[in-house]
Amino acid sequence: MSLIDEIDEVEDVTTLTLRVPMWKTPNHPDGVDILFRGMAFSTLAEMQGTFDLTDVEQNRDLESMITLIAITAYDPETGEKLFDSERGKEILRKKGYNTVLFLLQFGATAVVGTDEAETPGKDSSSTPEVNPAFEGSSSESLATPAGLSGSFSMAVQPTVE
């Protein structure tokens, strides 16, 4: 097999499983898990102009926030998109702002890589800033996101498939 064929077969789109402790159900007493999956470069390029990721990062465009969650959130058991339908988007609109922000910050934008530090061509010679939400933790530990109050924990288990 040639090198180009090997590269073609590698799945390098970022995925992570996010526990949402605010959504406790009888079947999920610790909160539901949602699989967030990034996008191929071509998909992200096709979406260019659909919405501004800067507006999403700065929480200025609520519909764009919902759209980004909808295109990146999957059921980890079935692999189906959770919020891609109009019903799914309506469910997100009815949820608490802090919960939607939690999904956006620790799920959707984490897998899309909207952080400026990941911008191609940017000088990365400086030490990257540590997200204060995860300071002192690893991907295998539980972390409590900074700025969110209440007694809950979040299990983030990023995996690259």
Helix count and strand count (H, E) for the chain: 7, 5
Cα separation, 99 vs 4, in Å, equals: 42
What percentage of the chain has pLDDT greater than the value 90? 47
Full-model pTM: 0.66
pLDDT at position 89: 95
Q: Which of 43, 46, 35, 102 is nearest to 72 (CA)?
A: 35
CA 122 to chain centre: 22
The single-letter code of the amino acid at 126 is S
Q: Tokens 């996010």: give the residue.
A: 18
Cα separation, 134 vs 16, in Å, equals: 15
Contacts of 132 (CB under 8 A, 6+ apart): 146
Q: What is the DSSP string of 97-108?
A: HHHHHHHIIIII
8 A C-beta contact, residue 56 and residue 65: yes
Q: Beta strand 14-20 with 32-37: parallel, antiparallel or unpaired?
A: antiparallel
Lowest mean pLDDT among 3-12, 37-46, 64-73, 116-125: 116-125
Per the structure block, which two tokens stand in for 158? 């990023």
Summarised one tens digit per residue, pLDDT across range 33-47 is: 999 999 888 877 777
Cα separation, 67 vs 116, in Å, equals: 20
Per-residue pLDDT band at 59 (split at 50, 70, 90): low
